[in-house]
A and B are shown apart, each in its own frame.
Chain A
Amino acid sequence: MKLLLAIFLCSFAYITYAQPLPSRGKAFNPDIGVNALFLDQESKRDKSENGMSLQEAELQFSSDVDAYFTARVLLAIEEEAGEYEISPEEAFVETLQVPYATIKIGKSKMPMGKHNQLHSHAFPFINAPLQNEAILGEEGLSETGVGASGLIPLPWFSELTFDYTQGENEDLFNAGDKGKKAIIGHFKNLWELSDAATIEFGISGAQGTNSDGADTNLAGADFTFKWRPVEGGKYHSFEWATEYLQKDRKGLSADKLSGIVSHLKYQLAQRWWVQYRYDYLGLNQSRSLDPSKRHTALIAFLPSEFSALRLQYETIDDGQAEDERTLSLQFNISIGAHPAHAY
């Protein structure tokens, strides 16, 4: 009898246990998305990165925290010296209820120019501009701190962003004294020329203390023209963007470097794009290095908004005997929830 009762109870327990969770239970899970970038690359001079690779995988989680905050975490998985590493590219919280302003707390990509704020899967070309890699570092300028941004009451779109951060970028900031912080600011303006075209003009600046205990100053400017016709806008569009970036590192290992990059993007058909980019790195350079000039051409086929196949060819003239030439093919996918892309 006892045995029967035990079996009965057990089976009952089993049944209750096996009941699926009410589907509402999932409603509060964060939105999860994954981006993966697969790359096949062939370089003539530097052959170390030739061949097929998982360029990067990004895991994104985003959700409202409560009625007051929304949060986003982006983890990047990348190969670093033969081993895969997972690192927080961004992890931040933003306010929802503060009128006129957004307060941001955490680690995020700094508004030092336009390109620096993009995730790798949203880069207009397979690799970053030369100046971004040389000045802001391979991972770009991403800092931990507190930021505030707001719209300035002007007749056009005008936004001011200000970040007060720890300043951990190895080359630029990274002061021994933890009391020394780095500040980054961005002033963005956008005008609608017509329903189809906009121009954007922004300036950015940053200041912090470097490992020599001296100042590092950054300055940048960006200009973007975008066109997408109101009729037939699904099939054609055009973009021209130019960015200038300069660094002035003072102290023992003083270093001055600046560059300019400009690209054109034209949408030929619903799923086809052709693009061209010119980089010039080494304007008002303090070291006796030759400037680098790069031409990049790219053709992209986007089967849908969630996948893209891109073929890129670039030549770099950096003063060496032989120019670098690289051909790359990238396949880029996005699964799960994907937060809307900025304009």
Chain B
Amino acid sequence: MKTFKIFIFTLCTILSIPSYAKLNVITTTTNLKSLVERIGGDQVEVQSFCKGTQDPHYLEAKPSYMLKAAKADLLVSIGLELEVGWLPLIIRGSRNPKIQEGGSGSFVAGSFIETLEKPTGTISRADGDVHPEGNPHFLLDPQNAVIVAEKIKDKLSDMDHEHSKYFLENFKKFSNEINSKLEQWQKQIGKNRKVITYHKTLTYFFHRFGIKNIALLEPKPGIPPSAGHIMEVMKNAKKEGVQLALVENYFDPTVANRVAKDVTGLKVRLIPVSVEGEKDVPDIVQLYEKLVSVMEAK
């Protein structure tokens, strides 16, 4: 009995020792990972579930993710039902009460954003993969990234008071960098750019820089292109004189290439929409630079 008591006592002592190690942060997407790295710097250890080339709508809830989530101090997610198909299982399987929604280690970026394309009135699955709370790809607007970065700074400061000054400095650096580049980016893109995309991934980017999305290759969100719809897209593309078709690199570009065959002057570009989606985009600012350069009128 005495040894048992000693065992319990030691166990309690070990469990109650506060850890001074770096904050262990898990994010659902690589864009969020990049933001946390920008603010947390060398005071955080960050991993993302979704790789840059994977569609965050359809990740599989691998048990190995539960293991990562079990050890996490903070879980940073997009919200707006983007991860609804897999994240709840991971949170439950992690047996980590901190990262439950509403828990001290839960951060849902979508709750700080004024979303676009929020459906009004009734919604139905006949409309495809609609998000009742609005389009979840908000981090592709650099200004939204600043809004989220500020909240991440607050969250990290709450969890690690000692380094709150460091987090604040990092945030200021990031916000200044974005603000100083916005005007330049707008100039590069120019006015009245018209594009075709596969999915409504770039809505926020287009909204920020005044780019017109003439047509989508998907007839409805999440629904693969049909022949009839493609004809419609070609007609619109010709009428509007669109010169650029963008395919998020987790989709198949075959259909876009077919459209390009019929529409003279239309170029197809396979683009990353997440950090690490291509080798030369290791960071969110570089992702914006990449998208801007693709958009540039040449």
Contact = CB atoms under 8 A, between A and B. Distances in A.
Interface of A: 70, 94, 96-102, 150-151, 156-157, 159, 188, 190-192, 195, 198, 200, 228, 230-235, 270-271, 304-306, 335, 339-343
The 8 A-B pairs with the shortest beta carbon distances in the complex, nearest first, are: A157-B63, A190-B63, A157-B67, A340-B89, A231-B53, A192-B64, A97-B97, A157-B64
Contact of A151 (B51, B60, B66, B84): B66
10 contacts: A99-B96, A99-B97, A188-B63, A191-B64, A198-B64, A233-B250, A234-B58, A270-B252, A271-B224, A343-B60
B100 interface: yes
B222 A304 contact: yes
Interface in B239-275: 249-252
B64 A96 contact: no
B157 interface: no
A156 B63 CA distance: 9
B125 interface: yes
A304 B251 CA distance: 16
A228 B63 CA distance: 15
Contacts of A191: 64
A263 B92 CA distance: 28
Given A157-B66, A198-B62, A342 B95 contact: no
B80 interface: no
A94 B96 CA distance: 14
B67 A234 contact: no
A340 B250 contact: no
Interface string B117-141: 0000000010000000000000000
Nearest to A334: B125
Given A157-B67, A335-B125, A343 B95 contact: no
A190 B63 CA distance: 7
Greatest chain A CB density within 10 A among B63, B92, B96 is at: B63
A159 B86 CA distance: 19
B125 A156 contact: no
Contacts of B125: 304, 306, 335
A98 B97 contact: yes
B123 to A, nearest CB: 13
A156 B64 contact: yes
Looking at chain B's contact residues, the main secondary structure is loop
Contacts of B93: 159
B88 interface: yes
Nearest to B62: A343
Contacts of A231: 53, 249-250
Nearest to B88: A340
Contacts of A188: 63
A56 B195 CA distance: 47
A228 B66 CA distance: 18
B53 A230 contact: yes
Contact of A234 (B85, B88, B100, B251): B251
Nearest to A189: B63
Contacts of B92: 70, 94, 102
A159 B97 contact: no
Contacts of B60: 228, 343
A121 to B, nearest CB: 15
B55 interface: yes
Contacts of B224: 270-271
Given A190-B62, A233-B54, A100 B250 contact: no
A342 B89 contact: yes
A154 B250 CA distance: 33
A232 B97 CA distance: 34
B223 interface: yes
A188 to B, nearest CB: 7
A334 to B, nearest CB: 9
Given A195-B51, A233-B250, 12 more contacts: A98-B97, A151-B66, A151-B94, A156-B67, A159-B63, A192-B64, A230-B51, A235-B252, A270-B224, A305-B58, A305-B222, A343-B63
B250 A151 contact: no
